[in-house]
Chains A and B, each alone.
Chain A
Amino acid sequence: MAGLSFDLIALQLFTGLALGAIYVLFAIGLSLIFGMLTVVNFAHGAFYMVGAYVGLFLLSMGSNFWLCIVAVPLIVGSVGMMVERFLVRPLYGRGVDYPLLLTFGLSYIMVELVRIAFGTSGYPFETPELLQGAVDIGVGYFPLYRLFVIGAAVVVLLGLWLFLERTSFGLIIRAGARDPQIVRVLGVDVSRVWLVVFGIGTAIAGLAGLLAAPLQGVIPEMGATILAEAFVVTVVGGMGSIGGAVIAGLLVGVVVSMTSLFAPEMAKVSIFALMAIVLLIRPQGFFGRAGLMS
């Protein structure tokens, strides 16, 4: 192939990793909620979309992007906690399909509400001024904003890891995921733990939506496409494994990127081909525990 240089391949690889960072950011919330609560959250895409719209609304009220980065996860996380408290909680202990159907319906309602409030045609979302333009990363020019998104993903992951591994609340969460009954016997209010986990998961989804908005603009249906891709990431990484979501997210990004270089029209299909191959070789995904769904 003409024009195939080392720089191009390196840049393509980097582009894939950057794309993967976005997948990771979206998929870890999904994975967290599934891993801890065994809830397959089909409304995750809707929370992502709501994050973008909350950001849009705050900006129109005179807020700036940096304030949004703090406010959006708090607001979307609060909505998520209400959803857990009043809608998801009554369904615990009834198997995966009940919360799955609930969140599926919920996502439709959320999208419809946003359509009523903001219209169907979508809005522009300008890249924050400080992060506009591209910088030379050695092998070529790369948008500053995408570098920022990679940084944000790393910060979120680091924060989540510290919270789960280094705080006593994180210890309770991990224990609660393993054996809720014993934790309850020890006097811990497990329902409060699940409330917080659901809140954190949806807060990350909201943040991901806000960060994606300057990349692609804002429409009510923006959560739908990425949800399908995020499920591929969680399945490849292993349902419920956060580490798996990180590795698989980056891998999916790179696979899409490299396919795009040689056969762009196959890029979308390559995601699902990857999933099929992984499932054939390792049905529970990279780091998945077998039997979690049953």
Chain B
Amino acid sequence: MTRTTKLISRRKLLATASAGAVLAASPFRINLAQAQEATIKVGFPVPLTGPYGTEAQDQVRAAEVAIAEFNEGGGLNGRKAELLVRDDKLNPGEAATRTLELIEKEKVSFIVGSLSAAVQLAVNNVTKERGIIFNSISQSDTINEVADFSKYTFHEALNPHMTAGAVGRYAFPKFGKKVAFLTADYAYGHEMVRGFQEAGKAFGVETLVDIRHPLGTTDFSTLLPRIQALKPDILCISNFGRDQQIALKQATDFGMKKSMKIVAPIVLYTGRVAAGAQAFEGVIGGTSYYWGIEDKIASAKAFNDRFRKLHGGKVPSDYGALGYGGVKTLLMGAKAAGSLDPDKVIAAVEALKYDYYKGPQYYRKCDHQSVQSVLIIESKVTPQKGDADVFNVIETEAPNETNLRTCQALGHKA
């Protein structure tokens, strides 16, 4: 009796052991293990509602492309990434709260997003304090300056100094030196004007007037007669979104394009689509990205194709593309570092020489500003290749650190 019991128990032992071995080798167990090693969470606070909603939704679409690519490429040693989108309502307070929630509750590894100078600075304050890497995809000059910058801060977007500077360097030699400004009265507008004026020094540009209007102005007619009376060569319209669309429309109505050239530091793809060809006819502006460069740049073609495939044939907008670049650079940095440790990722991102969607780019070490090309675009009167064919790229200013403010001017030591 005792022998048999022993035998059975030995068999039992063998069976259990082999079952364990099978289980150990099965895909089921691998899934279990992976579930324990959670996804890499990327927090994405953007103004889904409010005046920049269209841009923000496009940023989300493009960020999804970056996430999908990362996951298809095997992730970080098998760890997949996940995008956590939050609506910051274009409000600095709301954005700070959402960012804090993403960090504390969701335990995100990175924050990418925001679309307004004030909002991104609020987000940056939170990420700076908590030691979370933040890649901003909205324009700002101050985010690179010592007071706001931290080693956790990256800036994938252009900044007003670069954008306005590039447009100025293109326009001043061609159209004249007497310049009038029509400016939205907040940080963005002021920084753009400063960018134009700095670039204008080299050409002896004279500022005739800088008219400041409140945000959300719906009628510019009362501001235009004075500009006309001063007879400038160039009118710089330094405002954004709907303000810009209305200002251009009304300047067209007043016949101002006949006597002066109208330029804008940023001309948006979505703004041009929403306001129509009439208002934007002949207007020259700057942008970080336009889908039409795919004819010349391979990475743009690849990005557009992926975007079209994922989003029913749509093309990405300029600010949308920044959502892609912002997420992609951090994920590729993490991959290169082989870790999510902030210091290792920062070092890896600083070392990146990347060409993900618009030609070569890299982050300058002192202020983490993405050094990149600026496109000078002109609105097309009649689209030839469908409704999305709205701009001609008339010049590309190559990536060049001399077009940035120096590290010393920003207050950095290096």
Contacts and interface: CB of A to CB of B under 8 A. Distances in A.
Contacts of A283: none
A234 to B, nearest CB: 19
B216 A225 contact: yes
B246 A217 contact: yes
B229 A121 contact: no
Contacts of A226: 218
B213 A267 contact: yes
B223 A260 contact: yes
B54 A121 contact: yes
Contacts of B276: 124-126, 217
Contacts of A260: 222-223, 226
Interface in B214-251: 214, 216-219, 221-226, 228-230, 242, 245-246, 249-250
- Where chain B touches its partner, the secondary structure class is helix
B109 to A, nearest CB: 31
Interface residues of A, number: 43
Interface string A2-21: 01010110011001101100
Contact of B226 (A8, A124, A216, A256): A8
Contacts, number: 109
Contacts of A216: 218-219, 246, 249-250
A282 to B, nearest CB: 26
B219 A261 contact: no
Nearest to A10: B225
A141 interface: yes
Nearest to B208: A3
Contacts of B206: none
B175 interface: no
A122 interface: yes
A267 B222 contact: yes
Taking each of A5, A19, A120, A222, which has the highest tally of chain B beta carbons within 10 Å of its own beta carbon?
Answer: A120
Contacts of B230: 3
Contacts of B222: 12, 15-16, 19, 256-257, 260-261, 267
Contacts of A126: 276, 278
Nearest to A145: B253
B270 interface: yes
B185 interface: yes
B249 A265 contact: no
Interface string A142-153: 110110000000
A146 B274 CA distance: 22
Q: Give the residue among B217, B218, B221 with the most A Cβ atoms within 10 A.
A: B221
Interface string A128-171: 00001110000011110110000000000000000000000000
Interface of B: 53-54, 185, 211-214, 216-219, 221-226, 228-230, 242, 245-246, 249-250, 253-255, 270, 274-279
Given A19-B219, A264-B211, 9 more contacts: A11-B225, A124-B279, A127-B253, A140-B228, A146-B253, A216-B246, A222-B218, A260-B226, A261-B226
